[in-house]
C-alpha cells in the first residue's frame, strides 16, 4: 500500500482512539449530572430543569463520538451467523463490498447534519423547553461524530483492501 494510505489509516485510527477515550469520560459527566439532579430534588427539594436535557445531550455526544472508536475495534453489532465462520480474507471481501453502503448512508447523514447545524446557527435555534438551550453545539457534535465514523469507514476500507492484496496494514481485528 502507498505510504500516504498507511499514514491516513494510522492518523485516523489514532485520532478516533483519542476521541473515543475522551467519549468514555463523558459517561462520568453523565452520571454526575444525573446524581446532581437526584440530590437536588431529594435532599434539597429543588428540582433542576436542565438536568434531563443536558443528560440527553451528553449521552448523544457519548455514543456519537464513541461510534468511530467502536467501529475501529470491531465492537459494533453485526450478524455473525455466517460472517464469523469465514476466513479473514473472505470477511475483508464482504466488508469491502458492504462498506460502500455505509459510506453512502454516512454521507447522507453528514449532509443533513451540516444543513441542520447551519440552520441552528443562522436562526439561533433553541430547544422548546423551559431551559431553552441553543441547539447548534449538540448538532455540531453530532455531525462531527458522524464525520469521524465516515473517516473510520474509509480507514477500514483501506485495511480491507490491503488485507486482500496480501499486505495488511494492521490494527483491524481479524477474529
DSSP per residue, 5-49: HHHHHHHHHHHHHHHHHHHHHHHHHHHHHHHHHHHHHHTS----S
Among 18-22, 54-58, 81-85, 163-167, where is mean pLDDT lowest?
Answer: 81-85
Provide the grid cell at 103.
Answer: 459510506
Q: What is the pLDDT of residue 76?
A: 77
Specify if 174 maps to a domain: no
How many whole angstroms separate alpha carbon 59 and alpha carbon 34?
11
Q: Is the pLDDT of residue 27 over 90?
A: yes
Domain range spanning residue 72?
A: 3-165
Specify if 148 maps to a domain: yes
Specify if 170 maps to a domain: no
Specify if 98 maps to a domain: yes
- In this structure, what DSSP letter does residue 134 have? B
Among 23-27, 75-79, 113-117, where is mean pLDDT lowest?
Answer: 75-79
Mean pLDDT of 41-50: 91
How many CB atoms lie under 10 A from the CB of residue 102? Answer: 17
Q: Is the pLDDT of residue 173 over 60?
A: no
Q: Is the pLDDT of residue 33 over 60?
A: yes
Specify if 171 maps to a domain: no
Specify if 11 maps to a domain: yes
Cell 457534535 sits on residue: 141
Q: What is the pLDDT of residue 111?
A: 98
Q: What is the pTM of this model?
A: 0.89
The closest alpha carbon to 137, from 13, 16, 68, 53, belongs to 53
State how far the alpha carbon of 65 is from the alpha carbons of 27, 58, 81, 98, in Å.
12, 10, 28, 22
pLDDT digits (tens, 9 = 90+) for 108-122: 999 999 999 999 999
Give me the number of domains the chain comprises: 1
Q: What is the pLDDT of residue 1?
A: 83
Q: What is the pLDDT of residue 171?
A: 54
pLDDT digits (tens, 9 = 90+) for 126-161: 999 889 999 999 999 999 999 999 999 999 999 999
Specify if 58 maps to a domain: yes
* 95, 79 contact by CB (below 8 A): no
Amino acid at each position: 500500500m502507498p505510504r500516504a494510505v498507511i499514514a491516513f489509516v494510522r492518523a485516523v485510527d489514532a485520532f478516533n482512539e483519542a476521541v473515543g477515550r475522551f467519549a468514555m469520560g463523558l459517561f462520568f459527566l453523565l452520571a454526575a449530572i444525573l446524581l446532581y439532579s437526584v440530590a437536588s430534588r431529594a435532599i434539597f427539594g429543588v428540582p433542576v430543569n436542565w438536568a434531563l436535557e443536558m443528560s440527553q445531550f451528553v449521552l448523544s455526544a457519548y455514543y456519537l463520538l464513541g461510534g468511530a472508536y467502536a467501529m475501529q475495534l470491531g465492537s459494533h453489532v453485526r450478524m455473525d451467523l455466517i460472517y464469523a465462520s469465514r476466513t479473514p480474507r473472505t470477511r475483508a471481501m464482504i466488508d469491502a463490498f458492504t462498506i460502500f453502503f455505509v459510506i453512502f448512508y454516512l454521507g447522507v447523514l453528514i449532509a443533513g447534519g451540516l444543513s441542520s447545524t447551519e440552520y441552528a446557527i443562522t436562526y439561533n435555534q433553541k430547544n422548546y423547553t423551559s431551559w431553552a438551550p441553543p441547539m447548534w453545539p449538540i448538532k455540531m457534535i453530532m455531525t462531527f461524530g458522524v464525520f469521524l465514523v465516515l473517516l473510520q469507514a474509509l480507514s477500514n476500507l483501506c485495511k480491507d483492501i490491503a488485507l486482500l492484496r496480501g499486505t495488511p496494514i494492521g490494527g483491524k481485528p481479524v477474529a
